[in-house]
């Protein structure tokens, strides 16, 4: 296998399109933004778009395609959303029906595609500033928790905010806030710093999704809004059909993480 960390997004999407890569995308095409995918039939699209507008931290929209459109414009000029992700989850009425490698055969002309920012982008910026990212050091998935922070509802969509936790040395917490604030389109600044019980989290060793990580003495648990939130919220609403990326198997865009930074 070639080293895909230095290969261009276009080349990787080509491999994926031809069925030659169906693995997770973490670390591929370093420096380029990856995106979460949610596809819904048009009748749910206004409510979900409004849900994202009302909850920009867990649901930072990078691009929304018009009904039936499967080519991106902003994130790439040559991508096809039906074939260019390694794996897709198909949900009917909120239940996972299966996982597939392309969705051309089930595509409908009323499908609306939402692409949302992913924390990979700001983690790269944290590492560049020598702020430790524990789950990367420990080669685990980031720990995720269902918090007691409610999202603002919209139409059929409602639910709690899912958050990720990263333990940060106390002298670097302020810098971590500054750095991630620059990335408003990929979850932005933390939603909570410190005592997990204040946001309804009982045990940091038992995440609801992902893996637990080591918290060293004195380190502060810092919580960011998580891109799993829209998936949890969509599943609760039980739409007739919903297609998402399979967790970890993201869309790789032509946009540099740095192009997403606001300041």
Q: Which residues bind a second copy (CB under 8 A)?
A: 42, 45-46, 49-50, 53-54, 61, 64, 66, 73-74, 152, 154-155, 181, 184, 262-263
**Opening angle at CA 86, ends 11 and 30, nearest 5:** 50
H-helix segments, the chain? 9-17, 45-54, 120-128, 134-137, 173-181, 228-237, 257-260
User: Of 46 and 205, which has the nearer Cβ to a second copy?
Assistant: 46
Q: How far is the CB of 159 from a second copy (least distance, A)?
A: 17
Residue closest to 74 by CA, chosen among 116, 126, 29, 16: 116
User: Of 131 and 201, which has the nearer Cβ to a second copy?
Assistant: 131
Q: How far is the CB of 57 from a second copy (least distance, A)?
A: 12
User: Of 14 and 181, which has the nearer Cβ to a second copy?
Assistant: 181
Burial of 121 (0-12, 13-18, 19+ CB in 10 A): buried
Q: How far is the CB of 66 from a second copy (least distance, A)?
A: 7
Burial of 64 (0-12, 13-18, 19+ CB in 10 A): middle
Burial of 157 (0-12, 13-18, 19+ CB in 10 A): buried
Q: How far is the CB of 154 from a second copy (least distance, A)?
A: 7
User: Of 52 and 222, which has the nearer Cβ to a second copy?
Assistant: 52
| Cβ(220)–Cβ(63) below 8 Å | no
Q: How far is the CB of 160 from a second copy (least distance, A)?
A: 18
54, two tokens:
């009302």
Cα distances (Å, whole numbers) of residue 107 to 8, 104, 201:
27, 5, 39
User: Of 66 and 138, which has the nearer Cβ to a second copy?
Assistant: 66
Q: How far is the CB of 263 from a second copy (least distance, A)?
A: 6
Q: Residue 62: what are its φ and ψ, rounded to 5°?
A: -95, -40
Q: How far is the CB of 129 from a second copy (least distance, A)?
A: 16
User: Of 21 and 122, which has the nearer Cβ to a second copy?
Assistant: 122
DSSP assignment of 166-205 equals: EEE-GGGHHHHHHHHHT-GGGT-S-SEES-GGGGT---TT
């Amino acid at each position: 296998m070639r080293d895909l960390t230095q290969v261009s997004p276009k080349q990787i999407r080509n491999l994926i399109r031809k069925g030659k890569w169906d693995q997770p995308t973490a670390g591929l095409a370093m420096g380029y933004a990856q995106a979460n995918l949610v596809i819904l039939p048009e009748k749910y699209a206004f409510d979900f778009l409004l849900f994202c507008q009302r909850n920009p931290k867990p649901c930072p929209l990078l691009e929304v395609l018009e009904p039936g459109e499967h080519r991106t414009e902003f994130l790439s000029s040559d991508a096809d959303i039906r074939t260019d992700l390694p794996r897709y989850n198909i949900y009917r009425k909120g239940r996972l029906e299966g996982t597939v490698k392309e969705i051309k055969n089930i595509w409908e002309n009323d499908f609306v595609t939402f692409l949302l920012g992913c924390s990979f982008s700001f983690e790269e910026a944290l590492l560049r500033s020598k702020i430790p990212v524990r789950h990367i050091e420990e080669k685990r998935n980031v720990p995720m928790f269902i918090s007691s922070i409610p999202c603002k509802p919209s139409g059929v969509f409602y639910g709690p905010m899912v958050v990720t936790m990263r333990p940060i040395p106390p002298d670097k917490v302020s810098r971590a806030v500054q750095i991630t604030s620059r990335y408003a389109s990929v979850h932005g600044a933390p939603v909570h710093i410190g005592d997990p019980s204040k946001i309804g989290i009982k045990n940091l060793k038992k995440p609801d999704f992902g893996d637990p990580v080591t918290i060293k003495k004195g380190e502060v648990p810092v919580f960011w809004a998580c891109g799993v939130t829209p998936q949890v919220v969509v599943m609760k609403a039980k739409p007739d059909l919903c297609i998402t990326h399979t967790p970890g198997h993201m869309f790789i865009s032509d946009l540099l993480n740095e192009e997403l930074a606001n300041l």
